[in-house]
Homo-oligomer: A and B are copies of this chain.
Amino acid sequence: MALDPTKHKDWEIAEEAESRMKTVYELGEQLGLAKEELLPHGHYVAKLDYRKILESRQSKPDGKYVDVTAITPTPLGEGKSTCAMGLVQGLGRRNKSVMGAIRQPSGGPTMNIKGSAAGGGLAQCIPLTPFSLGLTGDINAIMNSHNLGMVALTSRMQHENNYTDEELAKRGLKRLDIHPKKVEFNWIIDFCAQALRNITIGQGAKMDGPMMQSRFDIAVSSEIMAILSVAKNLEDMRNKIGKIVVAYDRQDRPLTTADLEVDGAMTAWMVEALNPNLMQTLEGQPVAVHAGPFANIAIGQSSVIADRVALKLADYNVTESGFGADIGFEKFWNLKCRYSNLKPHCAVVVATIRALKCHGGAPIPVPGRPMPEEYGKENVGWVEEGCKNLLHHIETVKKAGINPVVCINAFYTDTDNEIKAVRRLCEEAGARVAVSKHWQYGGDGALEFADAVTDACEEKNEFRFLYDLETPLEKRIELIAREVYGADGVSFGPDAQAKLKRMEKDPDMKDMGTCMVKTHLSLSHEPSLKGVPKNWTLPVRDILTYKGAGFVVPVAGTISLMPGTGSDPAYRRIDVDTETGKVKGLF
């Protein structure tokens, strides 16, 4: 029996369940894996050899592909990971063969404020400690791969400063003539290290590197992480890593990791990381944990490879796409599915009565402060008004040609009248609706949810992209803004206009994915605008390119690639029981 989530913390529930969890060998047997396809890391976590698995199952049809996304969340989040785990557990209780696919969390938020991202209550991914503390080392591999690129760049700049062309030629080097003010690449570290946000490196003498401005970003925002999440296979990853633009030369020509002759070695650090990690839910269903890219400059969800593997190994793969459907699902739809060639069968839109009230007019809750008391009282009017936001996201899912399922992630203060209102409005809009109580009851609380998803997957669906690759960039951005965000149009600032012009001439641009940056707290670019904002234009101020990952990134918001550690960070409460070796205080 699992512990009662109303009385125990998430990590206590996880720890108790871990005393009875399956070994990875048992999970492997359950999934029909050959011995060489399962690479154990200890007895409770494994890597899956994606190549062997995919090669030996080429003729096996894929399972049903279910994406879990959400309405526009409050700043507190609406329990999307918890719903994904709950759905996996619910399908498991219905004796379906099912796998989940979720992201690996970053060490930065885990040590700072966010908590574990493994779900919560009786719907979690375990074992919790490796999940939260680096797992099998993929993020560390990214750190080493990425920083090796910076070592190559900065030491090359130093040697070009110190040596003549003849001296360089003796070492088989041709001057790259890197412009010290046009370095695009930065260092990474997987913590919230604001002190490394703006730094000057290379101080000292001529053997101490080139002196210049530089910065550290959080590791999960790395272009290598973006590549890991969309790479089809090792060859594709190798090619993409070689295309990362690290700087421009004095003639403004782009210079890549391949120009630094470091792309092969960078890939060498990443070979193992390409294999997804196998974990399990609290109830023993297998979960692939892989990649954890930023949601703004990358897809913000688990990897193409993890989904492909899960679809071969199970009849249902429940994957998760970060934030609201305008951000997470849109990228799942037009980016990830384009890279993977996979067709989803259904998308779950997670909603809470809390978030609906917030969209309907209740005061916006603030993390760390007490919940406004309005949320404790029934208010059907606010819920109905807030459903406009939910209905907007349902329409987005329908534009992709697949079937929406609304999951009301139940909370004890929800009233029957409030839930009835949601059900009525969503069903009128053609969506299935399920109330799910996985947080409190695990898979047993998610049976209605599981059945709704099973039904939706059986129904006819015609998956289609919002735009094809012939569509010019400007038009793509406008389509996303109008059709997904509900904007009246798009305005391009001077920087964005200049970049658009330059990109028109670049033949590489056609195949690049379009990866929007916008707040997830509103359908618009303005976080405070709740519900479905009307009469607004999306202002795109800049357009970034990531030639390695293959993304064009139109920026209609702010991007912070290095969060700060707060004054009461989580690490204060984390410790180790030196008798048992167990880590305490992860939450």
Contact = CB atoms under 8 A, between A and B. Distances in A.
Interface of A: 35-36, 39-43, 47, 51, 107, 111, 129, 133-134, 136-137, 140-141, 143-144, 147-148, 150-152, 154-155, 157-159, 163, 168, 171-173, 187, 189-204, 207-210, 214, 233-235, 238, 261-262, 264-265, 267-269, 271, 564-572, 574-576, 578-579, 581, 583, 585-586
B47 A42 contact: yes
A155 B194 contact: yes
A255 to B, nearest CB: 16
Given A261-B572, A567-B173, A133 B203 contact: no
Contacts of A187: 189, 196
Interface of A is mostly: mixed
Nearest to A24: B40
A290 to B, nearest CB: 17
A163 B111 CA distance: 21
Contact of A151 (B140, B207, B565, B576): B565
Q: 8 nearest interchain CB pairs?
A: A195-B209, A264-B575, A265-B571, A154-B195, A140-B140, A155-B565, A265-B574, A198-B203
Contacts of A207: 194, 564
A107 B158 contact: no
B571 A195 contact: no
A352 B42 CA distance: 42
Given A151-B191, A264-B585, 5 more contacts: A155-B195, A158-B564, A195-B214, A234-B576, A265-B572
Contacts of A40: 40-42
Contacts of A268: 129, 133, 574-576, 583, 586
A344 to B, nearest CB: 29
Contacts of A47: 42
Copies in the complex: 2
Given A198-B203, A567-B173, A151 B208 contact: no
B581 A271 contact: yes
A235 B578 contact: yes
A569 B155 contact: yes
Contacts of A235: 578-579
A585 B152 CA distance: 17
A428 to B, nearest CB: 47
Please indicate which of the listed interface residues A197, A210, A571, A585 has the most CB atoms of chain B within 10 Å of its own CB.
A571
A151 B36 CA distance: 40
A181 to B, nearest CB: 16
A234 B578 contact: yes
B193 A151 contact: yes
Contacts of A173: 567-568
Contact of A264 (B140, B204, B574): B574
Contacts of A129: 268
Contacts of A172: 568
Contacts of A585: 264
A261 B571 CA distance: 8
A567 B159 contact: yes
A111 B565 contact: no
A238 B195 contact: no
B193 A571 contact: no
Contacts of A152: 565, 569, 571
Please indicate which of the listed interface residues A152, A157, A200, A574 has the most CB atoms of chain B within 10 Å of its own CB.
A574
9 contacts: A39-B42, A134-B137, A134-B269, A147-B193, A151-B191, A151-B195, A158-B194, A194-B208, A265-B571
A207 B42 CA distance: 41
Contacts of A39: 41-43
Contacts of A576: 234, 238, 264, 267-268, 271
A98 to B, nearest CB: 26
A51 B581 contact: yes
A559 to B, nearest CB: 16
A392 to B, nearest CB: 34
Nearest to A239: B578
Contact of A208 (B133, B198, B200, B214): B198
A232 B367 CA distance: 43
A160 to B, nearest CB: 9
B42 A147 contact: no
Contacts of A566: 155
B140 A144 contact: yes
Given A199-B201, A271-B581, A265 B575 contact: yes
A583 B147 contact: no
B203 A200 contact: yes
A423 to B, nearest CB: 43
A301 to B, nearest CB: 24
A571 B148 contact: yes
Contacts of A155: 192-195, 564-567, 569
Given A154-B193, A194-B207, A567-B159, A111 B202 contact: no
